[in-house]
């Protein structure tokens, strides 16, 4: 196969070679980590080493890391806490990942959606008004606000949200799947009571993640019947995947101080796209954003067509949010930001990683520019 240009790190980052080695070695660990014999203890030690590394990535205590099957399960676990019949109210932002939105909207009577600004940042005045003390029952409101959006990269004001939520006696969960390993995060000062992580966004294996609690926070298990993960997530642990997560976390942490290189590549990409067409624009351009994520549009283009054409040219990007099934639907994030559907349908998400190069950006710009010229001419002719 010809050389590919992979610019879809927010969907999945390529597995790191060191992670592969760690996973392969861990697959040979014989014991069950709950067994007391030497084989069991060796598997347990491998898990605890990984736990310490994942904890370090987000400045948490190792005992507060609960390994799960991924970001989706971590979100489900956090969201499962409020029960509709308890009267506890749930508030989630309009731009959450479907694993949060769907969980919350499953309880429509007790769920309220927090709107976002045109820049795709949660409207905290609206949240404060929703949490006004006279509206609250005796139960603690549960709020879920992602740390950074997977489509636009917009970073959310978690510190301020935490102040508002805690003043109202509530609990704040933050889906940190996209921010971890890209921006330094420290549970001690971050403000959220719990965060969700996923290994495959940072070069770890797919199918492993974690819910990380702030010191003193607690969570009920989703499943029952086993003592693993401090009785918070029963079932024999996926030892090899957890080991891989630990290796990825350690490497991602070491790269954090050099993420400005990735941000410069992103800026170069955006300047290149904006130069292609006078009407081109970048989502959430005025908001603080992840260093690796660009969601760009040239009006008149259809994302579906662009993604397929770029794929044929050897370049992997996504159409808006396509990380669940590959199907292209108008993005709920763009809709929440008030972007017209005919514009939103052209949104392309380009997400870089530490391995991305200047050459990748030039390859993308060359192919996208050629395509945009051809397709917009066709679209304008047809109009």
Residues within window 345-374 making contact with ligand PLP, judged by CB under 6 A:
none
**Is the C-alpha dihedral spanning 135, 140, 142, 147 positive or negative?**
positive
Shorter beta-carbon distance to ligand PLP: residue 44 or 193: 193
One residue of 46, 54, 67, 72 binding ligand PLP per CB under 6 A: 72
CB 368 to ligand PLP: min, Å = 23
Near ligand PLP by CB under 6 A, which window of 51-59, 83-91, 174-182, 248-256?
174-182
Closer of 327 and 380 to ligand PLP (Cβ): 327
Q: How far is the CB of 341 from ligand PLP (least distance, A)?
A: 22
What is d(CA 64, CA 197) in angstroms, rounded to the nearest whole number? 13
> What does the alpha-carbon distance between residue 198 and residue 343 come to, in Å, rounded to a whole number?
31
* Site size for ligand PLP (CB under 6 A): 14
Q: Binding to ligand PLP (CB under 6 A): which residues in 201-230?
A: 209
d(CA 94, CA 91): 10
Q: Which stretch binds ligand PLP (CB under 6 A): 65-73, 210-218, 278-286, 366-374?
A: 65-73
CB-based burial label for 174 (10 Å; 0-12, 13-18, 19+): buried
Length of the chain (residues): 383
Residue 209 or residue 353: which is nearer to ligand PLP going by CB? 209
Token pair for residue 179? 């921010």
178 near ligand PLP (CB under 6 A): yes
Distances from the Cα of 359 to the Cα of 267, 269, 281, angstroms: 14, 11, 22
**Cβ 196 to ligand PLP shortest distance, Å:** 6
C-alpha to C-alpha distance for 221 and 183, rounded to whole angstroms? 29
**DSSP per position, 262-291:** HHHHHHHHHHHHHHH-TT-EETTTTS-B-T
Nearest approach in angstroms of CB 94 to ligand PLP is 14
CA distance 214 to 233: 17
Q: Which stretch binds ligand PLP (CB under 6 A): 69-77, 110-118, 225-233, 268-276?
A: 69-77
Q: Which stretch binds ligand PLP (CB under 6 A): 35-43, 133-141, 171-179, 271-279?
A: 171-179
Question: In the stretch 16-55, what mask flags binding to ligand PLP with x, by CB under 6 A?
Answer: ----------------------------------------
146 binds ligand PLP (CB under 6 A): yes
CB 183 within 8 A of CB 177: no
Of 323, 339, 347, 372, which residue is the catalytic one?
Answer: 323
Nearest to ligand PLP of 145, 298 (CB atom) = 145
- Check residue 70 for interaction with ligand PLP (CB under 6 A): yes
Q: How far is the CB of 269 from ligand PLP (least distance, A)?
A: 20
323 catalytic residue (yes or no): yes
Q: Are 236 and 32 in contact (CB under 8 A)?
A: yes
Decide: 234 and 225 in contact? Cβ < 8 Å.
yes
- What CA–CA distance (Å, rounded) separates 81 from 186? 23
Stretch that binds ligand PLP, among 50-58, 71-79, 231-239, 364-372 (CB under 6 A): 71-79
Instruction: Candidates 97, 173, 332, 349: give the one binding ligand PLP (CB under 6 A).
Output: 97
Interface of this chain with ligand PLP, residues 231 to 290, rule: CB under 6 A: none
Q: What is d(CA 174, CA 186) in angstroms, rounded to the nearest whole number?
A: 13
What residue ranges in the chain does DSSP mark as E strands? 5-6, 65-68, 90-93, 111-114, 142-144, 171-175, 194-198, 209-213, 281-282, 293-297, 315-316, 318-319, 348-351
The DSSP code for 214 is P
Query: Could you list the residues that contact ligand PLP (CB under 6 A)?
Result: 70-72, 75, 97, 99, 146, 150, 175, 177-178, 198, 209, 323
Q: Which residues are marked as active site?
A: 323
């Amino acid at each position: 196969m010809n050389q590919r240009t992979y610019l879809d790190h927010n969907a999945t980052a390529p597995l790191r070679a060191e992670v592969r080695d760690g996973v392969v070695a861990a697959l040979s660990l014989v014991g069950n980590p709950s067994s007391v014999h030497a084989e069991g203890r060796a598997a347990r030690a491998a898990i605890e080493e990984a736990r310490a590394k994942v904890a370090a990535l987000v400045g948490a205590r190792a005992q507060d890391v609960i390994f799960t099957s991924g970001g989706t399960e971590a979100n489900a676990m956090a969201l499962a806490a409020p029960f509709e019949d308890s009267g506890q109210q749930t508030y989630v932002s309009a731009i959450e990942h479907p694993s949060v939105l769907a969980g919350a909207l499953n309880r429509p009577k007790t769920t309220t959606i927090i709107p976002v600004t045109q820049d795709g940042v949660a409207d905290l005045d609206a949240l404060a008004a929703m949490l006004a003390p006279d509206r609250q029952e005796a139960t603690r409101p549960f709020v879920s606000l992602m740390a950074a959006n997977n489509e636009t990269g917009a970073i959310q004001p978690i510190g301020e949200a935490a102040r508002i939520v805690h003043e109202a006696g509530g609990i704040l969960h933050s889906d940190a799947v996209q921010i971890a390993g890209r921006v330094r995060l420290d549970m001690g000062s971050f403000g959220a009571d719990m965060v969700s992580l996923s290994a495959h966004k940072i070069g770890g294996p797919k199918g492993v993640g974690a819910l990380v609690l702030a010191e003193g926070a607690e969570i009920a298990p989703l499943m029952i019947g086993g003592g693993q993960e401090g009785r918070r997530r029963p079932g024999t642990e996926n030892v090899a995947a957890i080991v891989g997560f630990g290796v990825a976390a350690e490497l991602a942490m070491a790269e954090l101080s050099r993420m400005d290189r990735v941000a410069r590549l992103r800026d170069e990409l955006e300047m290149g796209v904006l130069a292609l067409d006078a009407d081109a624009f970048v989502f959430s351009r005025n908001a603080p954003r992840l260093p690796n994520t660009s969601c760009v549009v040239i009006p008149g283009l259809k994302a579906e067509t662009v993604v397929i054409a770029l794929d044929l040219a050897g370049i992997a990007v996504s159409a808006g949010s396509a990380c669940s099934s590959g199907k292209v639907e108008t993005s709920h994030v763009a809709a929440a930001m008030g972007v017209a559907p005919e514009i939103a349908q052209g949104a392309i998400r380009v997400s870089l990683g530490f391995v991305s190069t200047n050459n990748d950006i030039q390859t993308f710009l060359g192919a996208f520019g050629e395509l945009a010229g051809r397709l917009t001419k066709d679209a304008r002719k047809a109009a």
